[in-house]
Amino acid sequence: MSASLPSNFLLGFATASYQIEGAVDEDGRGKSIWDTYCHLEPTRTKGANGDVACDHYHRFEEDLDLLQRYGAQAYRFSISWSRVIPKGGRDDPLNEAGISFYNRLIDGLIARGITPWVTLYHWDLPQELHDRYGGWLDVQESQADFERYARVCYERFGDRVRKWITFNEPWIQSIFSSEGDSSTEPWIAGHAQIMSHARAVAAYNRDFKPRQGGQIGISLNGDFFEPWDSEDPLDAEAAERRMQFHIGWFANPIFLKQDYPACMRQQLESRLPKFTEADFALFQEAESDFYGMNYYTSQYARHRTGAPSKDDYLGSVEELQWNKQGRSAGEASGLHWLLSCPEMFRKHLTRVYKLYGKPIYITENGCPCPGEDNMMREESVKDDYRCRYFADHLDAIGRSTREDGAVVKGYFAWSLMDNLEWSDGYGPRFGVTFTDYETLERTPKNSALLLKNMVKVRCQSVQ
């Protein structure tokens, strides 16, 4: 039997601006770092770019109709910083045409009875800020510019937007944006995003929440890890250490208002930035309302011997998809790194809630089906694997809430439609809607039409 969900459980779908919008040179939008990155030679994105993507900028009404058809109660989307402030800086002019686009999008959602959930930053830093001072490698400049950008969004959209997410997966941005010294730059970039989050949340709590009445949080990614050898205490320590390097890095300062995890301090020493007393005081003002969780898969952790390398960001851990007995962590999907591991997801939910004590929203969860990147539309829409993945992960949420005491309030499927999957280009298809990249025609997959009923049935089972 399927585990039940809370009766008021929220169902939504998620996207990100650069992955779907297109229209990169229209209506005053400035370049982002991903515009630059996608056009590098040799290609880092399998020849793909977001110049057109899904053309959501021109087709958003059609996409909002899809959300309504799918029974979405909420839609999580991100705002393109450089569409609102083309050069990005706190003294740079606003782009009213870009602001108008997001106003139309928000109004279209509300007219359909769908709650907008806005992510302020989903990896697309204005290129101008990267050129000026290195972006997230300048802790002071970046947080001042981000606070101003956040304030503009609160001022222009906060009369209708009641749910805000500051950053999407700062771990990814920090680890994979290194350009020079990979032994120091990730920790600086992470520090800058933590402080930028704190500035933006404190500003909202102090100057906007009293009259707008919204909520604000952050979306953190992170796999769940179990020990490769269940009888080896060193592997048990490695599993916990890996999650501290992945999640505790951001969650400890943000939610616990503490220093970075001790295992990070021990390994990284002076390379890990220090928080000041003023920083800790700011954290007290920057109380987040919820924990946004992006989750896709789980793994096993095996400890490493010897001193870790200077550019090690895993915590001296080897990541494996099978344990000592040769047992796989889960069923294979359409990507080598993504296995379906619902039982470990349940443990992940329970662990995060017990550690950080905030209501959890699953702000991303999904998968490509095996072989889907080579499927035509007629085959892709029959996405039985994705239906099973969704059902199993919703079941894990139900068990975590009903049996383990976790508080999980909602679920956003990734993604509303097939789109640009960053460095993987247009290969993997995570969408519940098939996107024909030649015609840009959208076709609902079976999972889109079934997900509403999956949630409805589980919510109705609550006595």
Contact partners, residue 142, CB within 8 Å, separation at least 6 = 129, 133, 135, 136, 192, 196
What CA–CA distance (Å, rounded) separates 395 from 3? 5
Architecture of domain 10-460: Alpha-Beta Barrel (3.20)
What is the model's pLDDT at position 462?
65
Length of the chain: 463
Phi, psi of 35, rounded to the nearest 5 degrees: -60, -45
Give the residue among 197, 172, 196, 185 at the shortest CA–CA distance from 34: 172
- Could you tell me if 104 and 110 are in contact, meaning their C-beta atoms sit under 8 angstroms apart? no
Residue spans of the domains in the chain: they are 10-460
State the pLDDT at residue 178: 79
Q: What is the pLDDT of residues 388-432, one digit of tens each?
A: 999 999 999 999 999 999 999 999 999 999 999 999 999 999 999
Secondary structure string (H, E, C) spanning the chain:
CCCCCCCCCEEEEECCHHHHCCCCCCCCCCCEHHHHHCCCCCCCCCCCCCCCCCCHHHHHHHHHHHHHHCCCCEEEEECCHHHHCCCCCCCCCCCHHHHHHHHHHHHHHHHCCCEEEEEEECCCCEHHHHHHHCHHHCHHHHHHHHHHHHHHHHHHHCCCCCEEEEEECHHHHHHCCCCCCCCCHHHHHHHHHHHHHHHHHHHHHHHCHHHHCCEEEEEEECCEEEECCCCCHHHHHHHHHHHHHHHHHHHHHHHHCCCCCHHHHHHHHHHCCCCCHHHHHHHHHCCCCEEEEECCCEEEEEECCCCCCCCCCCCCEEEECECCCCCECCEECCCCCCEECHHHHHHHHHHHHHHHCCCEEEEECCCCCCCHHHCCHHHHCCCHHHHHHHHHHHHHHHHHHHHCCCCEEEEEEECCCCCCCHHHCCCCCCCCEEECCCCCCEEECHHHHHHHHHHHHHHHCCC
Catalytic-residue membership of 185: no
Report the alpha-carbon distance of residue 235 to residue 215 in Å, rounded.
38
Among candidate residues 128, 185, 240, 364, the one labeled active-site is 364
Q: Which of 21, 128, 147, 169 is catalytic?
A: 169
Alpha carbon distance, N-terminus to C-terminus of the chain: 15
pTM higher than 0.85, yes or no? Answer: yes
Q: What is the pLDDT of residue 1?
A: 47
Is 319 a residue of the active site?
no
Work out the pLDDT band at 20, boundaries 50, 70, 90. Answer: very high
- Averaged over 318-344, what is the pLDDT? 98
What residue has token string 């294979």? Answer: 332
- Residues forming beta bridges with residue 115, ordered by sequence position: 74
Q: Output the pLDDT for position 177.
A: 80
Biggest distance spanned by C-alpha atoms of the chain = 60
Q: What is the pLDDT of residue 179?
A: 84
Q: Residue 62: pLDDT above 70? A: yes
More reliable by pLDDT, 344 or 3: 344
Say what percent of the chain tops pLDDT 90. 97
Is residue 299 pLDDT above 60, yes or no? yes
The single-letter code of the amino acid at 291 is Y
Digit-coded pLDDT (tens) for 193-211: 999 999 999 999 999 999 9
The pLDDT value recorded for residue 461 is 76
Cα 3 to Cα 278: distance, rounded to the nearest angstrom: 45
Mean pLDDT estimate for the chain: 97
Distance CA 425, CA 429 (A): 10
pLDDT at 153: 99
In the chain, the amino acid numbered 91 is: D
pLDDT tens per residue across span 120-172? 999 999 999 999 999 999 999 999 999 999 999 999 999 999 999 999 999 99
The answer, yes or no, to whether residue 383 has pLDDT greater than 50, is yes
Q: Among positive and negative, which fits the CA dihedral 291, 294, 297, 298? A: negative
What pLDDT score was predicted for residue 310?
95
Which residues lie closer than 8 Å to 417 by C-beta, 6 or more apart? Answer: 15, 20, 54, 63, 66, 431, 432, 433, 434, 435, 442
Tokens representing residue 52 in the block:
């057109």
| β-bridge pairing 298-303 and 331-332 | unpaired
State both tokens at 282.
């700011």
